Each structure stands twice: as structure tokens, then as C-alpha cells.
Chains A and B, each alone.
Chain A
Amino acid sequence: MTQTIDVVVNGERRPVARDATLLELLRSLELDPRAVVVEHNRRIVRRPALGEVRVVEGDAIELVHFVGGG
């Protein structure tokens, strides 16, 4: 039986599977891990480690990329 927990992604509360890794979170959001940078509770998680870091209830996750700017 899968249970979900709530994490905050880009400021919005979202349910994810308990014990999900950051990589699984990205997949569930249909995001290419090569195209985003992940900040987990204010710490940057590099791409190779995304599959090793698991989220817990209330974690704050920021997913950023480059946009147009001056």
C-alpha cells in the first residue's frame, strides 16, 4: 500500500509517495533532471545524488532553470 506525504515544491504543497527520492519526484512532475536544478531544504542536490536523497514530510524543494533575463 502506498502512502503519500506532503512536501512543498516551488512554494506549493504537493503529495508525493512516502520515501520517494528527488529523482522520482522529478519524474512524477514530468521534468527532465538535466534541465532543472534541485534545491532541497536550501541545499543544492547535484544530479548524480538525486536518486539517493529521499524526501520527508514538509521538505521544501525548489526546482529552477534558466529563463530570459537581462
Chain B
Amino acid sequence: MTTAVELVQDAPLTIGGRTFQSRLMVGTGKYRDNDTMARAIEASGAEIVTVAVRRVNLDRTKQEGILYHLDPKKYFLLANTAGCFTAEDAVRYARLAREAGFNEFVKLEVIGDQETLLPDVQGLLEAARTLVREGFKVLAYTNEDLVIALRLEDAGCAAVMPLASPIGSGLGLLNPFSVRTIKRRLQVPVIVDAGVGTASDACVTLEQGVDGILMNTALAAARDPVAMAHAMRLAVEAGRAAFLAGRMPRREVALPSSPAEGMLD
């Protein structure tokens, strides 16, 4: 049997010279336990999985690192610089991550505001330039501002990651127009990151034509994270397929689906 998705011709996603089959990327934070996390990630079909860099817990309550629960051969681990409020800190975390990790990719975050966790785009650009010079493949978490996205691309970022809405908010894609504009104007992949709440949000996001989507809380905070991960997988495939299929134009007035001719007198 041929599924609808197989009928759609689509190229795999390539970021910084690496190719990925899944357009859904997932985080590993905030799960109630590691087993749920591992099963949710499996159900999502994601290949790219984000992790954070933190101090090892030195007291003997033995808090294990995430790598005990994620096979680095199975998943592409993308370290983030979450929690960094300056370019200098973000660069420091990125260097530690490269040493800890298995690749030169980093999801660069420089946060500018504690309440909204919105990016500090000045610090972001500065950190991106430094890291690109040091050979990193930078995936830059940014707001949905076209001009900043263009600057990040000019700085050599491997991908630009505009937000759907604030991190952990679950508000969905608030500015489809801006995200579409960024996608239209950039050459590098555009991955929407943060703010997804449920499957329809992911679907609408992919319908804008962006290359991929990254989410964490939408899975971790769902009542059933594994079931939600499955829903997200389908939503991302559906959204991508709908984008490739090309939606009908919007009309302000009705257009009958049944013939106007052949009606009885």
C-alpha cells in the first residue's frame, strides 16, 4: 500500500552538511522520568535530540548524565547553550559541549529576558560570529525578525531557528507571516524552535514551508508524552506534505463544489 506521504517528492533535510530524514527535533528536558523520555523520543521518530550542559552533581545522590539513556549512535545529539545570558557565556558553554559531545553542532541561545526568555539578538550575533570562526555549525535560536535572521545567515550560521512563541509557552505559531518571510528569504535551513503546544501547532508550522521544527515541553508536559510524540510525528509529516501539495487559495466568498448546471426547474 502506498501512503500519501510516499506520494510526495521531498528531499531530506540537510543542515551543515549532514542529512536527516526526520524534520522533527526534540528536547530531553523536563520529563517525569528517563524511561518516558526515551520512549517519547523513539515515538517521535526524531533523529536530532537536544541536550544541555550543566555541572556534574558531586554529592552522591548519583544523578546520571543523559547519555545513559540516549544512544549517541542512534541519535544526533545537539547541545544547546540554554541558560546563557551573555555571548561570552554561550561561547563558553558551546566549547564545553563540543568537548563533551560528538559533533561540532550547537544550538546557540543567548537569552535577553528572564520572564519571556526571548533572545538577546545582539549577543546572539556576537556569539554566532565567534563560534563560526572556531568551526562550529551554529543553529541560532532567534526571534521571528527577518533582518536578524539575515544577519545570522551572513554570520555563517548553519541554520536559523525562529521561535513560534516563547519557550515552554505552548502558545503555538503566533506569527506565521514572519516565519514564512524568513523561510522565503534565507538560503540556510529554517527550523522553528519553541512554543509549540499541540499537534495542530506543529502541522500549521510545517505548512509554512519551514524545514523543520524543534520542541520539548509540548511532549514532556503532555499528559501522555509518548502518545503526544506519536501525534507530533504525524502532524509534522502532514504539515510538510500539505506544504508540498500546495494549498488552495483563500477566498472571501463561497465557491460551490457541486455544478450550478443541471438543476431542476
Contacts and interface: CB of A to CB of B under 8 A. Distances in A.
A and B associate: yes
Interface of A: 9-12, 29-31, 35-37, 39, 42, 44, 46, 62-70
Contacts of B55: 10-11, 62-64
Given A64-B96, A65-B100, A67-B66, 9 more contacts: A11-B55, A30-B60, A63-B55, A63-B58, A66-B53, A66-B100, A68-B29, A69-B82, A70-B216
Nearest to B70: A66
Interface in B193-222: 194, 214-217
A66 B95 contact: no
Give the most central of B50, B56, B92, B194: most A CB within 10 Å: B56
Contacts of B214: 70
A26 B66 CA distance: 19
Contacts of A11: 55
Interface size class of B (residues with CB under 8 A): 35 or more
Contacts of B216: 69-70
B58 A70 contact: no
A44 B37 contact: no
A69 B28 contact: yes
B219 to A, nearest CB: 10
26 contacts: A9-B58, A36-B56, A37-B99, A44-B95, A62-B96, A63-B55, A63-B56, A65-B67, A66-B51, A66-B52, A66-B53, A66-B100, A66-B101, A67-B29, A67-B51, A68-B31, A69-B28, A69-B50, A69-B52, A69-B80, A70-B29, A70-B50, A70-B52, A70-B167, A70-B168, A70-B216
B12 interface: no
Contacts, number: 92
A16 to B, nearest CB: 13
Interface string B7-48: 000000000000000000001111100000100000000000
Contacts of B58: 9-10, 12, 29, 63
B79 interface: yes
Q: Which 10 A-B pairs have the closest CB atoms?
A: A69-B52, A70-B27, A70-B216, A68-B28, A65-B65, A66-B51, A68-B29, A37-B100, A37-B99, A10-B55
B81 to A, nearest CB: 10
A29 B30 CA distance: 27
B106 interface: no
Interface string B179-204: 00000000000000010000000000
Contacts of B168: 70
B101 to A, nearest CB: 7
